[in-house]
Structure 1
């Protein structure tokens, strides 16, 4: 018995199964242009479907006009409002196409456009919630300390600040991201997070962004503590730079699917080159600064390495699989090495002895100037 005879008019056709066979990567969508080619090159009748007829039918059933046919639209194609003879040809062509295709693979459509992946369902909530929390914490300390300015207040005694004398309170390596030294510092981080983070969250979803953000914050505090062990640390710039670097990782793993890829790449390289240039100038000229460029750089590196692993890859190549695992190993090795140094070899970098007990007076805590990761 031939394959087509299995689906004669006397047997019910499982159109969901047919859709799944044509949907080669199993993502729930069939590229409209691809389906058109299937219908045109699969003859099942003496009267083949014409190019204009197929275009008209697919346009009619692609309700949202996004260039893809989902299952609901596929059912519309099966029952497209044309004469019964043409409809029968369409149905038999779809069945023949399904059984002529290779088994389903894990390779995504090569011409899937990155912008088609943007989604507001569920809406992006993580980045707005993080920014709201940071603004709320700033308002709280501004009200309790009674000092609001471009570079104040700095809540020295806060349980959230990274205090080099209290590094055994491990949450401080992350919780410092909720504090900011003045509204200029707060505004810059919030604007960057919203501008960069929301588009990423709409494509890659909140949990991937959370991993990236925390990785950048943790890498920033560990690196700043290693290279500037006497300084306090506030600000979410490590997380913000991780989001910026995630865009670079996103471009690398989705290069062919992303519009304006060269423009995005040039903008990111320019941004980082500017920051690195300022850092080099400040270092060579011994200019005093409260900005922790080390935290910026560490957050960026963390975002790049972790981003290649956590972000969605619309079309995965073998070299990308190797690259992401190499990146993950490098990131874990760096973080592990930094933790080992902090725990077992603090004298190597001149860290304060850990003092978790609360016995320092407010005046002593206020003595040093903090490093602010703007």
Structure 2
């Protein structure tokens, strides 16, 4: 019975639900006090803007920007994708490793976006959970690879199609921070190699 209960609890997406709730709460508060479609308002309240980071040393924006969104459709799209990808990755990795993967990927996305903007001297206000969500897709890709090409009904080919469609959406849609997506995807893939361990079952795991 104990083994069953432990496996049952691990399958619950507590962290995914918590992250979604945090994003919704932040969005609600920011909507009450201002316009989330206003880039200046977003930058003033924690979105990533290269000049504030480089000149002001406000590196905390790499973190806070992950929980901010430009308008209702932005947060709706991201939360649907987070719910879908998050529950699978959290079940595979466990709650703590999932949270580490999510945050690490999101920060990687923000950092890469920041570096590219500085290099091009083309600054823009960046915010959203999409870098971290791309990181979950990257983590899921490694999980599928580690499980010999299939995990929970997801195949290597399906992961490739998912990544291609997400990249295509980013490239074909204006106002999307594709460097943030790429940084998150790479970060999520790499950290999952370190953190993920394929589950091994033996007779002692089976209880009636």
Class of the TM-score when normalised by the shorter of the 2 chains:
0.7 to 0.9
Is residue 216–residue 242 contact of structure 1 (8 Å, CA) maintained in 2? yes
Tell me by how many angstroms 1:131 deviates. Answer: 0.9
Residues 158, 119 of structure 1: CA spacing in aligned structure 2 closer, same or farther, 3 A cutoff?
farther
Which deviations, in whole Å up to 9, do the C-alpha atoms of 1:53-80 show, x marking residues without a partner? xxxxxxxxxxx8xxxxx99xxxxxxxxx
Counterpart among 177, 198, 201 of residue 313 in structure 1: 198
Is residue 137–residue 163 contact of structure 2 (8 Å, CA) maintained in 1? no
Aligned to 2:138: 245
Distance 1:290 1:166 in 2: 20
Distance 1:254 1:210 in 2: 21
| RMSD between superposed Cα atoms in Å | 2.7
1:172 paired with 2:61, answer yes
1:35-74 equivalences under 5 Å are none
Distance 1:278 1:185 in 2: 13
Tell me by how many angstroms 1:314 deviates. Answer: 2.6
Residues 158, 126 of structure 1: CA spacing in aligned structure 2 closer, same or farther, 3 A cutoff?
farther
Q: Which has the higher helix share?
A: 2
Is residue 149–residue 155 contact of structure 2 (8 Å, CA) maintained in 1? no
Aligned to 1:270: 161
User: Equivalent residue of 1:291, what SS?
Assistant: coil
Aligned to 1:120: 8
Which deviations, in whole Å up to 9, do the C-alpha atoms of 1:39-98 show, x marking residues without a partner? xxxxxxxxxxxxxxxxxxxxxxxxx8xxxxx99xxxxxxxxxxxxxxxxxxxxxxxxxxx
Aligned to 2:107: 218
1:158 paired with 2:44, answer yes
User: Equivalent residue of 1:120, what SS?
Assistant: helix
Aligned to 1:300: 185
Distance 1:124 1:277 in 2: 28
Is residue 137–residue 179 contact of structure 1 (8 Å, CA) maintained in 2? yes
Residues 203, 156 of structure 1: CA spacing in aligned structure 2 closer, same or farther, 3 A cutoff?
closer
Tell me by how many angstroms 1:237 deviates. Answer: 0.7
Distance 2:73 2:109 in 1: 20
Stretch moving more, 173-182 or 305-314: 305-314
1:139 paired with 2:28, answer yes
Is residue 223–residue 298 contact of structure 1 (8 Å, CA) maintained in 2? yes
